[in-house]
Structure 1
Amino acid sequence: TEVDVTENIMRAVGNIIWNITFGVTLEFENPLLTRFRELQQEALPLMGGPAMMFMETFPIFRKLDFLFGGHIKKLRELSGETNNYLAEAMKTAELSFNPDNQPSCYIEAFLAEQKRREEAGKPMGNFHYEQMLQSAVSLWGAGFDTTVALLRMSVLELINHPEVQTKLQKEVDDVIGERRIRYDDQKLLPYMCAFLQEIYRKGNSLPLNFKRITTQDTKIEGHHISAGTTILPQFSMVHADPKEFERPDYFCPERHLDEHGQFVKDPRITPFSVGKRACLGETLARMEIFVMFSTFLQNCNFTPVGKIPPATQFTTGISRGVVDFHVKIQPRN
């Protein structure tokens, strides 16, 4: 069957995050998931565009947003619509919350902590409504589009490299068989891990990290960087550096295997950032991508719609992904 793989992946990932956040599973055809992706697809190019980067560097120019196309105004409108959807879901979760039960989602855990502090006479601190809303926004903003983008690219590389797809399926068949795949199975599937690490390297779903401030004087390639300097780390430069990776534009899972065919974790590949400010959802994202993608291969064959598979072309913005494409999906049985 010919499908737009984006729609299906988006609904699956969206439902996982919605369940973790609000403890509710949405119907697969719920238009809310589609609207959330539309909102993110509108916002991300604006956030990573030249005008916003300029105003972030020189905040005084934010007052002249109208001269730069009104990007800040538009982002506020998009953010407001997203917040309204999430606030409504929070209200529903609050109405059904029972403090005597074990929390089943993030919002219930947040409410339980509020109640515990209230009963103990302790100050609420950051456990207030606005923090709860912004936490829900962060779970969505950080965990939705990037995970969808990496899974979409994984499928695209399958149809561009059928020999890789065959090798991945053989590994799954030989090691896992027909049982359900678990995250713990990654130690049994070295080629699968190598494939996904190559996706993280070449995909660069977050080519520019968020702003950081240096804590001490340092030198980078002869340039003096003073303590307190605002910097913008660019991981994509490492991932695509020919000094680090031979033929970096070439998709090659084998570069992440040793001479015995075992997976080698590469510390140079940092799709979720590094240090104390690294992505809090890294473990969840890696789990989602591994289990979902391995299950795809266990059950389906992916082939291009025409004789020539679509090229790997990327969108631009603060996060990036491959442009939309169609694929033929057939059950393996």
Structure 2
Amino acid sequence: MGLLKNTCFNLLAATSMVFTPVLWSEATVAQNIVNHSPSQTNEAVAPDSSISGVFDTSGGSVEVKTVKIFVNDQDVTRNSTITPNFFSYRPTQDLPPGNNKVRVEYQNTNGQQWAVGWNFQVQRPQVALEITSVTHNATNTALGAGSTFLTTINGTPGAKASVMVLDGATMRRLPAQEVSRGVYVANLSLGSTDRINDGVIVGRLERGDKTVYGAASQAVVFNPSAAVTQVSQVETTTTQTTQTNQTQENTLTAAPIIPLRPEFISHNNGDQIDTAGFTLEGKTQPNARVRVVVEQAASSSNILGAIATGVLNSRQLLETTVNADSNGEFTVNVPQPRLLDSGIKYSVTATAEKDGRRDTTTLNLTQK
């Protein structure tokens, strides 16, 4: 199977991913994968999260034996569950925090090769439960009846949050919601009986068996006769806008995948050479290293000349290694044999290597 150039997808978990086959010619049938997980649009996932996806077989059933799964460039196929419809992998050890990448390669029963890759985020190691700030909107003036009292807690994400309003011996608890990562908001519509002088606002976060508290630096005053103040939850506006933009940009289309296996574009198998020496031109994956070996076999019509020059049997005419350019193209100049005669057979073997992978192709030519 030709190997792959990474192509990353930023997709919702339920969004189909459209593949491009590993072919030099334009594809006539598209094949999809659906419900891949984890998705890049999700929140950061746990380090032991499974990786999975469902094959859409409308473009041809999947050849299970050809499926390869790579996580962070490591082949994890042997530790994966693979069927004609589904693949999954559960890490044998925790995935590293931050960005992780997946690549899946396979072939369908129509002989088409496919590849897809996507990135997802893994949670950083959990820090100790903490509150970094507690703020509210009653810092400069008293809030009157009909006003909205708003408190914001900034702290560790993923906790259960609440706000306590303390006034002497009385305490009122308000539930808080995590409106964006690590930002919790509680609000209260004030009525005619809500009166507090120099109240204390305390934020509370709870996760597992841990609980932490943090107090606002300024007191709060509720006075029913004060002017009405309505406050929008400004803290949530930026977060909501960002999430909307991400949703609009979460679909990308796969680019064509170039096989690692070299393909000669200057000659076809069985071509005749009508020059003294010739130039091979080919293509592979960009920046791959290509080892080219050319062997010659003397023409049966000139046995005496072959004996005299020592090329009666097949012998190596050229061995060289070149680097493909950024477009995957490479060129090799082949010298003329010591005995140039019609009917000489040339056997060309080209092996491309990249990222620890290799693939080989052969070409047979004849001197005219």
* TM-score interval, smaller chain: under 0.3
Greater helix fraction, Structure 1 or Structure 2? 1
TM-score of the aligned structures, taking structure 2 as reference length = 0.16
Greater strand fraction, Structure 1 or Structure 2? 2
**Structure (1 or 2) with the larger CA radius of gyration:** 2
Greater relative contact order structure (CA < 8 Å, 6+ sep): 1
